[in-house]
Structure 1
Amino acid sequence: MFIVTGGAGFIGSNLVKGLNERGQDDILIVDNLGSSMKFKNLNSLRYRDFLHKDDFLTRLESGEYGHERIEGIFHNGACSATTESDGNYMMRNNYEYSKTLLHFAIDRKIPFIYASSASVYGNGENGFCETEECEKALNVYAFSKLQFDRYVRRVLPQATSQIVGLRYFNVFGPNEVHKGRMASTLFHFYNQISESGIARLFGEYGGYGPGEQRRDFIYVKDVVNVNLFFLENLSTSGIFNCGTGHARSFNDVVHAVAKACDKGTIEYIPFPDDLKGKYQSYTQADAGNLLRAGYRDGFTSLETAAAEYIDCLKQQGGLL
């Protein structure tokens, strides 16, 4: 059996799809559906069971899974709202929950692959390498992720089974519709162009020209490939960036979306005052450690991924 926490969410549901495509359907999905529409992400997937995250933790701590054969845990469940201000909630949900699951995996020698975040690099002024010198959390979400990474670093030397943390950069692709405002810029640009023919970008800011702020955009299918690469290489542990290693401008993104839509122009809007000093104008993963670990599958180009994703938005409403 595989366990996928956050399995009804964006990346988690794509991971389940990836396992299905490899012939695996003995999967326990753990999540909190709440009032969101992310249940739709599960409609096309094959899995054994679904559990609310609190029920799963209760059963885990009671020893229910003590003798079950578990081939791997993909831990993607977390509160990812960067606007969440309740630090105690964030640490219980993202940090303490993760520690409990980590120690269960260590005790049972189960491969444990979890979602970290590029947000741990803050404004990126010190670079985007997996070292403490580059790390600076700017909000409590990033803090919760960074603290768990640091905890993992402390236990890794004694661990006798695989532990992998993946710092996701700007992920986009199918099954993010439920995220609403937190969905990717590609999703929002597609909707803007579909509705009005115009995509709105920030104007000049931070030394970057209009629309020239840059991010490391990575297609969710490539994120799945990276996860499954580590599952196939159980001797490799550590914390790795999960990005393409190439920054692309928001202008590039709109041009890719417009090409796939056969229409679309750009309107530049003034940079909002409330984002000044809180905005990442540039992100680019240092992919060196990932490549040294042996990952050789490459990454889908922005243009190819955008065309495929927009076809999914047009034909399937953005769902797998």
Structure 2
Amino acid sequence: SDTMEYNGKYMMENNFEYTKNVLHFCLDRKIQMMYASSASTYGSGAHGFREEPACEEALNVYAFSKLFFDNYLRRLLPQAQSQVVGLRYFNVYGPQENHKGKMASMIYQMYNQWKAEHKVRLFGEYAGYGPGEHTRDFVYVKDVVKVNFYFWEHPEISGIFNCGTGHAHQFNTLAKAVLNHFGSGELEYVPFPEVLKGKYQSFTEADDANLLAAGYDGGFTPIEEAAEEYCQLLDKTGGYYVYEG
């Protein structure tokens, strides 16, 4: 899941060959399969965020590996006799991401920055966007789970679907949610990293038309509500969801 991994052989072995092996195992045994595709397959987003080749481009090795598998699946789907669903996750955040290190969500990172320094940091201006104004379709992991369960409960549906709210928000919005949670602190902007230039998505926003057409009607949690709920959980358990049923 490291979007900054540059070893193409390693990435293809893990994100393409391994997933292909799982796919054929499932198809041979008619087992339902859901896998993680990625919004990174849309690259700059200049052509939109619809699940179709005209919108797709890969800006890094990670995105290429995900798109390569999606296209492999597309060739096999007409013959598939069991469900296969690829979910193009947009910017997922929420409980149980502590193990992800630098790939954890920005809200998790900003929360821990505030705990350490009473400030949060965002990238400065880049590609025509002002400081902190780069946008993402941030989707709460609890909503992602609902989408997964929907498809699991409808094994007759196969395909590649966006999994995002359909609404883009600035990183500034998340930063302010964290600062509001604590009631104090500073928002600091740092120069945009050279290593990310030309490989960075400045804007993402899921086109949910196909997801809704497939029948999903579970909705998505408003970002301010979800951010506060997550911050409260970080206060209480450090970010782990504890089942109390």
TM-score scaled by length of structure 1: 0.73
Give the AA of the match of 2:190.
I
- 2:206 alignment counterpart: 285
Structure 1 pair 274–95 and aligned structure 2 pair: CA distance change class (3 A): closer
2:74 paired with 1:124: no
1:105 counterpart (12, 26, 31)? 26
Alignment of 1:36-47 (within 5 A): none
- 1:224 alignment counterpart: 145
Q: Is residue 193–residue 263 contact of structure 1 (8 Å, CA) maintained in 2?
A: no
CA positional deviation for 1:156: 0.5
**Superimposed CA distance per residue, residues 55-102 of structure 1 (whole angstroms, 9 cap, x where no aligned partner):** xxxxxxxxxxxxxxxxxxxxxxxxx11222222222222211111211
Q: Secondary structure at the match of 1:82?
A: coil
2:158 counterpart (237, 247, 255)? 237
Percent of matched pairs sharing the same residue: 61
Q: Which runs of 5+ in 2 are unaligned?
A: none
2:231 paired with 1:310: yes
Q: Secondary structure at the match of 1:164?
A: strand
The alignment's C-alpha RMSD in Å is 1.2
CA positional deviation for 1:260: 1.8
CA positional deviation for 1:185: 0.5
Structure 1 pair 295–123 and aligned structure 2 pair: CA distance change class (3 A): same
Q: Provide the C-alpha distance between the structure 1 equivalents of 2:10 and 2:190, rounded to a whole number of angstroms.
A: 35
Q: Provide the C-alpha distance between the structure 2 equivalents of 1:269 and 1:98, rounded to a whole number of angstroms.
A: 37
**Superimposed CA distance per residue, residues 201-230 of structure 1 (whole angstroms, 9 cap, x where no aligned partner):** 222221112211110000111111100000
Q: Is residue 241–residue 290 contact of structure 1 (8 Å, CA) maintained in 2?
A: yes
CA positional deviation for 1:106: 1.2
Q: Provide the C-alpha distance between the structure 2 equivalents of 1:276 and 1:92, rounded to a whole number of angstroms.
A: 26
Give the AA of the match of 1:202.
F
Alignment of 1:60-209 (within 5 A): 80-209=1-130
Q: Secondary structure at the match of 1:300?
A: coil
Q: Provide the C-alpha distance between the structure 1 equivalents of 2:189 and 2:17, rounded to a whole number of angstroms.
A: 43
Q: Which runs of 5+ in 1 are unaligned?
A: 1-79
Q: Secondary structure at the match of 1:258?
A: helix
2:180 counterpart (236, 259, 281)? 259
Q: Provide the C-alpha distance between the structure 2 equivalents of 1:217 and 1:88, rounded to a whole number of angstroms.
A: 30
Indicate the structure whose relative CO is greater, using CA pairs within 8 Å and at least 6 residues apart: 2
CA positional deviation for 1:200: 1.4
Give the AA of the match of 1:235.
E
Q: Secondary structure at the match of 1:174?
A: coil
Q: Is residue 60–residue 199 contact of structure 2 (8 Å, CA) maintained in 1?
A: no
Number of residue pairs matched by the alignment:
241
Q: Secondary structure at the match of 1:165?
A: strand
